[in-house]
Amino acid sequence: MSQASDPKLSDPILSVKDLVVAYGSVRALHGISLEVYPGELVSVCGVNGSGKSTTLKTIAGILKPQSGQIIFSNKSIAGKKPEQIHKLGVALVPEGREIFPSLTVAENLRIGAFGRYSAKQFTLDLEDIYALFPILKQRINQAGGLLSGGEQQMLAIARALISHPELLMMDEPSLGLSPTMVDTIFELIATLKERKITILLVEQNAERALQIADRAYLLSTGHVKFAGQPADMQSTVDITAVYLGEGKGGEL
């Protein structure tokens, strides 16, 4: 774990407290709390419907909370518009990639940089993106919709990275990919971690996510069932049973 992940050594870059979110009359999050420290990779695990994606969408401003606090870099961002939160330094790689299929790779990347950096900085950043994603350099003038699923996922991650986020949030980055591409994506996430990029990772593949995480949260039906070290989660929570709907989770 990086030193920055120790609460005694720094303040959290993100602090979510007692967050309540509902879809109409159906409550999706029941007062969850979590923290992310600078340089950490924090994994949020849980089955479909546990509240993982809702959490990220609310932090990003796509959903509005009923109550609770979201503090990012000592600023309250709960209820702010997505573009305001993006300008503050939060980037989301959404589930399903959500690239612009009719736009080229270059145009998708330019949209990611919009509002954060100048055209000159964008040109410089492209070289770093090409180093991380050589295939995107080969596809730079190709429409995003013509890329393979794995290439589209790389583009979605690159589009978020090019804005120089203070916090990179990733929602199910391995979903729907081949085993080989899943390996590639997790190797990339490990590389980003080595670069000290702060990452909040939502991933249904708990085993792979816990291998690279500094800390982990387990959500179930909109509640936090475990918060702590990945090794402790693996030793105290029957993760397989939880994913089969039989687990009781761990204690906070």
Q: Same structural domain for residues 71 and 177?
A: yes
9: tokens are 């050594």
Q: Same structural domain for residues 183 and 134?
A: no
Q: Is the pLDDT of residue 115 over 70?
A: no
Q: Same structural domain for residues 169 and 58?
A: yes
Q: Is the pLDDT of residue 241 over 50?
A: yes
What mean pLDDT is predicted for residues 204-208? Answer: 86
Q: Which residues of 53-86 are buried (b: 16+ CB within 10 A; e: fewer)?
A: bbbbbbbbbebebeebebbbeeeebbebeeeebb
Is residue 8 very low, low, confident or very high in pLDDT (cuts 50, 70, 90)?
Answer: very low
Q: What percent of the chain has pLDDT over 90?
A: 71
* Residues spanned by the domain of 202: 1-89+165-252
Is residue 113 very low, low, confident or very high in pLDDT (cuts 50, 70, 90)?
Answer: confident
Q: Same structural domain for residues 9 and 73?
A: yes
Q: Same structural domain for residues 136 and 197?
A: no
User: For the ranges 20-29, 169-178, 229-238, which has the lowest average pLDDT?
Assistant: 229-238
Q: Is the pLDDT of residue 4 over 90?
A: no
What mean pLDDT is predicted for residues 143-167? Answer: 94
What mean pLDDT is predicted for residues 229-249? Answer: 70
pLDDT of residue 252: 31
Tens digits of per-residue pLDDT, 181-197?
999 999 999 999 999 99
Tens digits of per-residue pLDDT, 118-146?
667 777 888 889 999 999 999 999 999 99
pTM of the model: 0.88
- Among 116, 144, 161, the domain-final residue is 161
Q: Same structural domain for residues 76 and 170?
A: yes
Q: Same structural domain for residues 58 and 112?
A: no
Q: Same structural domain for residues 106 and 214?
A: no
Q: Same structural domain for residues 170 and 115?
A: no
Domain total in the chain: 2
Tokens 């709960």 identify what position?
78
Q: Same structural domain for residues 83 and 172?
A: yes
What mean pLDDT is predicted for residues 198-220? Answer: 93
What mean pLDDT is predicted for residues 218-236? Answer: 91
Q: Same structural domain for residues 135 and 188?
A: no
Coil/strand/helix, residue 63: coil
CB-CB contact of 198 with 206 (8 Å): no
CA distances to 21, 24, 163, 203 from 18, rounded to whole Å, are 10, 19, 29, 22
- Among 161, 176, 207, the domain-final residue is 161
Is residue 236 very low, low, confident or very high in pLDDT (cuts 50, 70, 90)?
Answer: confident
State the Rg of the chain over Cα: 18
Rounded CA-CA distance 224/16 in Å is: 12
Is residue 199 very low, low, confident or very high in pLDDT (cuts 50, 70, 90)?
Answer: very high
C-alpha triplet 168, 170, 171: angle, nearest 5°: 150
- Among 138, 161, 184, the domain-final residue is 161
Tens digits of per-residue pLDDT, 39-91?
999 999 998 889 999 999 999 999 999 999 999 999 999 999 999 999 999 99
Q: Same structural domain for residues 207 and 85?
A: yes
Rounded CA-CA distance 120/118 in Å is: 5
CB atoms within 10 A of CB 39: 19
